[in-house]
Amino acid sequence: IICSHCDHGNSYCSAQSRQEKQREACNRYQSSSKGRHLHALRQRHYRQRKKEKVTHQGSPGLVPYDLLIVELKRVTTNQKPSFSTNN
């Protein structure tokens, strides 16, 4: 395929010409009713996938007064404490 720009100099530019033709074909397809419909459907599925994939859960709510309940018991024994040293 020879593009109109290079035709007069008989230069072969397949990559550039193919890219232009591909872009034109994509624009024609997106302008058609089928292209618009399928594009909207694809976007709807994409948004649904993004909605299901939540990566940031946020910070947990802070409780202003967390209380730690400690139950104290008094233990009495009749024995005297014994200390042992192992030298």
What is the tens place of the pLDDT at every residue in 11-44?
666 777 788 888 999 999 999 999 999 999 999 9
- Angle, helices 33-52/14-31, rounded to nearest 10 degrees: 90
Give residue limits of the domains in the chain: 4-51
pTM over 0.85? The answer is no
Which amino acid does the sequence have at 65? Y
Using CA atoms, how far apart are residues 6 and 29, in angstroms rounded to an integer?
27
Higher pLDDT, 63 or 72: 72
In sequence order, which residues have a C-beta less than 8 Å from that of residue 6 and are 6 or more positions away?
A: 12, 13, 17
* Range 68-86 average pLDDT: 73
Using CA atoms, how far apart are residues 8 and 67, in angstroms rounded to an integer?
87
State whether residue 23 is helix, strand or coil: helix
